[in-house]
Homo-oligomer: A and B are copies of this chain.
């Protein structure tokens, strides 16, 4: 259970079958640096190009196609004092008829105050002078190599993870990804200091991070990313339209309730029908993201 400190020197704009940056053992922890969505590092120097440059890939010894990679997000520490967002709202979340009236796209800077634990617009518009939500760090894009020798842009997401932009990929969460190649080839980056549901301005508060993750191989198969927090389990579907993302996530959750919690399809439906929660990861990227979430207090491992 070694802990590795890895400093990247190159970055990737696809999740694919690239040369590993580091080999680690099953159960090891990695501490590494990530740059922001536009390639700016901790010194606000551009060291990589868009979209969403990734650190990695990490080769996890023992991971084989058909396995699952469990990634525990131990810590996400912003490595500089500023982040940025776009405004106004993205065209994907607006009534099309209202799009011509929206203002031009601009980039805004946010101050990340680690002492206060808040983010604030550097130049707040009227009405937002006191707007200072808590820092709520999350990983926007991470995942493993997809099957078939494919390679997907880090702008999008699929069964192997990718640019899901889901708030609950946050410290304390363990994310599961389906392994398709030997070593899994795990990538991570695109950290956000804060983000509402849907990434509806096209960004979270984009900044560079020091990220710490623990990587474990599970000898079991999954179809779509899954996750576990202190309170919840969840499954993630990535597709367009949102309906299809929700179908993937819901079907995967029903499967999980059968595999680990002893509920057949009918029992799973009775439970989910009363307690399921849906979260919208992103509704901006080429594939949208929906999470299907259930509080663990309703569940007993079989």
Q: How far is the CA of A283 from the CA of B280 in the complex (A)?
A: 14
The count of chain A contact residues (Cβ–Cβ below 8 Å) is 85
Are B274 and A133 in contact (CB-based, < 8 A)? Answer: yes
- Tell me the A241-285 residues at the B interface (CB within 8 Å): 241-244, 246-248, 250-251, 254, 261-280, 283
Q: How far is the CA of A302 from the CA of B128 in the complex (A)?
A: 12
Structural contact, A277 and B197, CB atoms closer than 8 A: yes
Q: Is the interface of A mostly helix, strand, loop or mixed?
A: mixed
Interface residues in A192-237 by Cβ distance below 8 A to B read 194-201, 203-205
Copies of this protein chain in the complex:
4
CA separation between A273 and B93, bound complex, in Å? Answer: 11
Please report which residues of chain A, range 171-211, place their CB below 8 angstroms from some CB of chain B when the two chains form the complex: 194-201, 203-205
Give complex CA distance A148, B197 in Å: 28
Contact across chains for B102 and A91 when beta carbons are under 8 A apart: no
A161 within 8 A of B: no
Contact A250 B94 (CB under 8 A): yes
A16 → chain B closest CB, angstroms? 6
Interface residues of A in 100-122 (CB under 8 A from B): 100-103, 106, 108, 119, 121
Which residues in B have their C-beta under 8 angstroms from that of A152? 150, 152
Bound Cα distance A244, B125 (Å): 29
Q: Which residues of B contact A9 (CB under 8 A)?
A: none
Q: Which of B127, B195, B196 contacts A261 (CB 8 A)?
A: B127
Hey, which chain B residues are within 8 Å of A267, CB to CB?
A: 125-128
Taking a contact as CB atoms under 8 Å apart, the answer to whether B276 and A98 are in contact is no
Residue A29 CB within 8 A of the other chain: no
A95 within 8 A of B: yes
Q: Tell whether A89 is near chain B: CB-to-CB under 8 Å.
A: yes
Contact bitstring A141-158, B, C-beta under 8 A = 1, else 0: 000000011111100000
**A272/B89 contact (C-beta < 8 A), A246-B280, A266-B106 known:** yes
- A sample of 12 inter-chain contacts (CB < 8 A) reads A88-B266, A89-B268, A94-B96, A99-B100, A128-B267, A131-B274, A195-B273, A195-B274, A198-B246, A200-B272, A205-B274, A240-B244
Which residues does A use to contact B, with CB under 8 Å?
Answer: 13-14, 16, 85, 87-89, 91-103, 106, 108, 119, 121, 124-128, 131, 133, 148-153, 194-201, 203-205, 239-244, 246-248, 250-251, 254, 261-280, 283, 288, 298, 300, 302
